[in-house]
Chain A
Amino acid sequence: MSRGHHTCHGRDILFDVPQDVVAEVISNIHLSSDYNVLALAAPDIAEHALPGQFVMVKAGERLEPLLRRPFSVFEVLTENGRIVGLSLISKRIGPSTKLLFEAKPGDRIQCLGPLGRPFVPVAAPDEAWLVAGGVGLAPFATLAETLRARNIRTKLYYGARRAAELFYLDTFEKLGVELVLTTEDGSRGDPGLNPRSREWVAERGRVTVPLERDLKASRDVAGLMIYACGPERMLAAVAKLAAAHGRPSQVSVERVMGCGLGGCYSCVIPVRTPEGKSHLVRSCLAGPVFRGSDIVWQ
């Protein structure tokens, strides 16, 4: 695989040129009536994917849906220490995600990646606080793994609509990530509903509430990076909270994307220019991860 060269958050990072593979579905775990985790046999993409990067997936081979959809790489899947594929978290909301929800093991799905700029991991002794809303959990499994491998103290603030939609808590616990959970309806975990969760306590309300509380109490934490992925309103709130407490943030945005490669100019987002003006940039190339302070939040 040849190498591409880009500047990322002021540092030069080597990226691999994306590959397009017809990936076999390894498994499709239904987490609820509309969330699923789709495992794809795309080892070449998985091997080169950095935390925060995404893939463009074409669901089905028909003309509807016509275009691919972007998904953060959720897990890099291994078998006996060998990388065998990657997984995506999807929520059924439209024709593409419906097809992905219904996909069966053995089905073939076109998958292009890895794409975009990844998260930049901090170095010890800094702490990392990850803030996820709903399917925004997706890029944090690999990021948490990278951070924990560097012995970074890592906390996950994870909010969902209801308890049954908080997934993969055990994965993060096993990595030694401290969990702070919220549900909008105040419901609590029920292991009967979700075999992947056990009993735990979630606070009622938005995920930004405990985040703000902990930021206020974090004066003695020397270095701290806030990472966020989720609905754009949550990202805006997190970026503002981080800035208000003098902490840097990195956010992964999701805009309507046509190609994922910079060809269509659909996925633009306003960022601040050095002159203090607002300028639309393509989130597929300049992102999906941005500094929270670079985005002009609307």
Chain B
Amino acid sequence: MDLSVRIGSLTLRNPLIAASGCFGYGTEYAEMVDLSSLGGVAVKGLFLAEREGHPPPRIVETPAGMLNAIGLQGIGVHRFIAEKMPELRARGAVVFVNICGTTLQEYVELARILSDVEGVAALELNISCPNIKEGGITFGCSLHGTADVVGAVRAATRLPVIPKLTPNVTDISAIAKAAEDAGADAVSLVNTFLAMAIDVETRRPKLSNIVGGLSGPAIRPIAVRMVYECRQKIRIPIIGMGGIASASDALEFIIAGASAVQVGTANFADPFIWPKLLEGFREYGERQGVKAISDLIGTIDTSAREKEWISS
């Protein structure tokens, strides 16, 4: 099966992208995973400056999922370019740089800086991190905020602009539409669900930040539904994510309308998951007689179900 997919002007060798925040800067995994075998690597969210993040505990397990409140600890864009990009380039990684700002100007400046860097394939705009108060999600939770960031970055770069959307809104498809109208090349969805866990013995929150973002298989059905809803509203490609841990999980997103998928939490449990997912795609293609994975995008057949629903 031909696994290549297109995200705007980019052609990825397959639909698998390592999700931002779950794969370090990619270099951490470079000796175990052939980075060039992935469709892309979305690196950990970067601000202009270095950030220390939240104090631990930063993660806690929940049923079929995990909460995190890392707080976007990171080395900042300049150190990233100097220290990480050379290795990512040498390893042949298709680099999606996830950027986060506290103001519109910071997003624009990050976009300008990264536009000149060889090897950066696309910009993923983090307007959805639930764990920090300033910036980010305050844009991603409103139509105007989303349009403002996307429009401003669009004007500042020729790189593909891919806002990463939060599910913590009433209607994510309206946000996706605002992003499309403002010039986004694609949208990534979903980021984590704002959630919390409490230790009943001590009556204290299990995370130092009190609340955190829920990821993992627990959120997958909601994420699939959101991709499906957005597919009805927008024409630009969707990069789907949320709890993908198998090829069949990924195919759900693709059939619902995603052109590519990101895998995050599952990589923590199994850093060698990538070839297994690719093998699963190939087996499916053989079984189903599908020649290209791109032929599956948005092919969900709801007609029979709708008829059954109406007639019952």
Contacts and interface: CB of A to CB of B under 8 A. Distances in A.
Interface string B17-48: 00001111000110110000000000010000
A296 B68 CA distance: 23
A135 B52 CA distance: 31
B8 interface: no
Given A264-B68, A265-B70, A268-B73, A66 B61 contact: yes
Given A4-B31, A64-B63, A259-B271, A266 B265 contact: no
Contact of A265 (B53, B65, B66, B272): B53
Given A2-B31, A63-B217, A66-B265, A262 B59 contact: no
Contacts of A262: 24, 28
A68 interface: yes
A263 B21 CA distance: 7
A263 B64 contact: no
A18 interface: yes
B58 A256 contact: yes
B12 interface: no
A66 B28 contact: no
Interface residues of A, number: 30
Nearest to A5: B31
B273 to A, nearest CB: 10
Interface in A57-73: 58, 63-68
A58 B266 CA distance: 12
Given A4-B31, A64-B64, A66-B66, A263 B269 contact: no
Nearest to B58: A266
A290 B265 CA distance: 28
B147 to A, nearest CB: 31
Contacts of A268: 53, 56, 58, 73
A18 B272 CA distance: 11
A268 B57 CA distance: 9
A65 B32 contact: no
B210 interface: no
Contacts, number: 92
A8 to B, nearest CB: 16
A261 B217 contact: no
A266 B59 CA distance: 6
A20 B271 CA distance: 9
A210 interface: no
Interface in A219-270: 255-256, 258-259, 261-269
A112 interface: yes
A20 B66 contact: no
Contacts of A267: 56
B53 A280 contact: yes
B23 A263 contact: yes
A266 B268 CA distance: 11
Nearest to A62: B64
Contacts of A259: 267-268, 271
A17 B30 CA distance: 10
Q: For this complex, into which size category does the number of interface residues on chain B fall? A: 20 to 34
B65 A66 contact: yes
Contacts of A58: 269-270
Interface in A7-65: 17-18, 20, 58, 63-65
A280 B52 contact: yes
A65 B63 CA distance: 8
Contacts of B167: none
A171 to B, nearest CB: 33
Most chain A beta carbons < 10 A, residue from B24, B28, B53, B268: B268
Contact of A112 (B31, B56, B65, B271): B271
A279 B70 CA distance: 14
B242 interface: no
Interface in B148-170: none
A58 B270 CA distance: 9
A261 B270 CA distance: 11
A63 B64 contact: yes
A285 B28 CA distance: 9
Most chain A beta carbons < 10 A, residue from B29, B56, B73: B56
Contacts of B53: 265, 268, 280
B216 interface: yes
Interface string B59-92: 1110111101010010000000000000000000
B61 A17 contact: no
Nearest to B72: A265
B269 A66 contact: yes
Nearest to A112: B271
Given A64-B63, A67-B66, A261 B269 contact: no
A172 B185 CA distance: 63
A112 B272 CA distance: 10
A89 to B, nearest CB: 22
B271 A261 contact: yes
Q: Which 8 A-B pairs have the closest CB atoms?
A: A262-B28, A63-B64, A259-B268, A266-B59, A266-B58, A263-B24, A17-B31, A265-B70
Given A64-B61, A256-B57, 16 more contacts: A17-B32, A20-B270, A20-B272, A63-B216, A65-B61, A66-B61, A66-B269, A67-B61, A67-B268, A256-B60, A263-B268, A264-B21, A265-B53, A267-B56, A280-B52, A280-B53
